[in-house]
Structure 1
Amino acid sequence: MTSSPTTQVALSQRAHERIGGRRTDEAWLAEVWDDAATRVLVLGGTKLAPTSERRWVSPQDAPAGTRILLGEQDGVVHFALQAGDEAAQDDWVFLRALLQDLEPAEADLLVHAVALAEWMRVHRFCGRCGAALEPSHAGHEQVCTGCGRHHFPRTDPAVIMLVTDGPGHEGAGGERALLGRQPSWPPGRYSTLAGFLEPGESLEDAVRREVLEEAGIHVGAVHYFGNQPWPFPASLMVGFVAEATSVEIDVDADEIEDARWFTREEMRAEAEAGTLVLPGGISISRSLIEHWYGGELPGRW
């Protein structure tokens, strides 16, 4: 696996210190919870308030629920609180709806919080004995009340790749880039291809398999680009630039409805005209596309 030039990918740079050593320090946890300066992100299931001012409250204003220690940012301790689905107000939204406008520092905290809240929400019973699970380590572990087994959050690796029609210059790729669209997407929306890693498979082979399955394109060299946590519900997106060894497109007509080769000029012109809608700025897909293009592009989801 060869590397592309260093590129800033949203959510890949640590914006808060997780202070994992404090997760079992009950006296300290109680002390900072009593501090009015501590900030608490209230989650109704995995929904949250639409504005930052409403999302973060003091511990004294937080409802009952399961506390999750997120860590420290700018000298302030931050928690999330899983208050249950019924706590969500009518205008609360899922994190995906906010990604377009989030500042990176807050996005880092929200991704951490939602990933753990989703895990606790759907993993409530032990897979070994079926007994109920109880949160431990400030929300980062769960312990079975029956057999005592410790359960940990799961992260599923997925590959996401910009396929180009050649090696190009300085790892940026060739003269054309391949984008595809899913049948459920609005007209004009295209993105990079992606898929989950299968057991016993390398990341590079997952890139080659997914591109072949979805678009009928054969891939040779695969260059590592960067990675990004993606809690929808629990993925790590590992990004690559892949060099095609064939160019004839044959979509699977299942996951992918259409795929197209774009030159840089075609991509810019269609994005400006609004006939091509590209991924949002915080996604690694956007970073891959703009790395290949060589600058910012107009329009986004």
Structure 2
Amino acid sequence: MLRHVAYSIAPGSLALSRAVLDRAADRRRDDEWLDKAWAAPDTQVAVVAGDKLLVNEERTALRLVPPAEAPDGMRVLLGIDRESGAGQTADGRAVFAVIVGTEADESYAGLRELGAVLNDREAGMAVHVVGLSNWHGVHTHCANCGAHTVVVEEGHVRQCPECGLSHFPRSDPAIIVLVTDDQDRALLGRNEAWPEGRYSTLAGFVEPGESLEAAVRREVLEETGVVVGPEVDYAGSQPWPLPSSLMLGFYAKAASTDIEVDGDEIAEARWFTRGDLRALVEAGTMALPGSISISRRLIEGWYGEELTGSW
């Protein structure tokens, strides 16, 4: 059973969980409305190549173009901006994206660069279309019969013309957890592929038929040998469409403190006091996850304030 959280992620601090647009799912099959919205002069279009988005010269915002200036590509309805007060449709301003392929030049940027600088509206647009772009890139054929699928519902469904099966965008649930012990120390680990001094919270994908709480306990035990007790507190979630994860954040209390890393995914794991963490970060010998990650926010939620330094 999930309990009231002992620590918390600061409201609004999850950069990729922000959204303003109404996704307007009911309009995705309305061809008449879509044609009218695409023809409206104030409609805005984001341009995406793979997992990168067209940005302004300062690389601080998306470069949104009118439909007449949009390049050829797969058209996707991102939604309706009902808060702007603008729009040629009765609903408000329509917002689309065009997916133009996978090759991106220097006029494009990825979510790791943009996540912390985009406003709420554009952050929500960005994670939406990057997730769709990544999905379309690897789901071109029907998993049931192998036929090439066609895009329908304005980019949100792929339909098989042979067997009729509909394929929908997927988000793979993954838990990410900060474990603390009875001394209020935090358990952080270093991935085998990371350089010395780079640490993060523990994470892993949820397996079929597994609850979130069970996934927390299994992943922590597998990676570090630490047993998690009954206290598993949900802290928040954030989409991570790189390529298709939904990160579900937790705080958990350890029932044991002996560490035995798996030596496969995790090369090293340690218990840190707040003093340990601050001293290592300030000395430059420890690097924390980037500011747009939920891992960073879990650590800062336990620490009690923002920290400096990141990967």
TM-score (norm 2): 0.88
CA–CA distance in structure 2, aligned partners of residues 219 and 39 of structure 1? 48
Q: How many residues align structurally? A: 293
Partner of 1:56: helix, strand, or coil?
Answer: coil
Find the partner of 1:227 among 228, 233, 237: 237
Q: Kindly report which structure 2 residues correspond to 1:134-213, keeping only aligned pairs within 5 A, or say none.
A: 134-166=150-182, 175-213=184-222
Find the partner of 1:69 among 74, 77, 93: 77
Shift of 1:188: 2.2
Structure 1: which 5+ runs fail to align? 167-173
Partner of 1:2: helix, strand, or coil?
Answer: coil
Find the partner of 1:85 among 91, 102, 113: 102
Verify: 1:47 aligned to 2:46, yes or no.
Answer: no
Which residue does the alignment assign to 1:241?
A: 251
Verify: 1:281 aligned to 2:281, yes or no.
Answer: no
Which residue identity is paired with 1:212?
Answer: L
Find the partner of 1:131 among 131, 147, 170: 147
**Are 2:46 and 2:54, in contact at CA under 8 Å, matched by a contact in 1?**
no
Which residue identity is paired with 2:256?
Answer: S
Which residue identity is paired with 1:22?
Answer: R
More off after superposition, 122-131 vs 10-19: 10-19
**Are 1:162 and 1:192, in contact at CA under 8 Å, matched by a contact in 2?**
yes
Partner of 1:142: helix, strand, or coil?
Answer: strand
TM-score (norm 1): 0.90
Which residue identity is paired with 1:272?
Answer: E
Please report the RMSD computed on the Cα atoms of aligned residues, expressed in angstroms: 1.9
**Are 1:100 and 1:280, in contact at CA under 8 Å, matched by a contact in 2?**
no
Partner of 2:17: helix, strand, or coil?
Answer: coil
**Are 2:226 and 2:260, in contact at CA under 8 Å, matched by a contact in 1?**
yes
CA–CA distance in structure 1, aligned partners of residues 73 and 148 of structure 2? 17
**Are 1:215 and 1:251, in contact at CA under 8 Å, matched by a contact in 2?**
yes
Verify: 1:269 aligned to 2:279, yes or no.
Answer: yes
CA–CA distance in structure 2, aligned partners of residues 281 and 249 of structure 1? 27
CA–CA distance in structure 2, aligned partners of residues 251 and 6 of structure 1? 27
CA–CA distance in structure 2, aligned partners of residues 77 and 270 of structure 1? 48
Shift of 1:273: 2.5
Q: 1:101 to 1:249 in 2, by over 3 A?
A: farther
Verify: 1:59 aligned to 2:67, yes or no.
Answer: yes
Which residue identity is paired with 1:139?
Answer: G
Which residue does the alignment assign to 2:302?
A: 292
Moved over 4 A (4+): none
Percent identical: 52
More off after superposition, 229-238 vs 272-281: 272-281
**Are 1:270 and 1:276, in contact at CA under 8 Å, matched by a contact in 2?**
yes
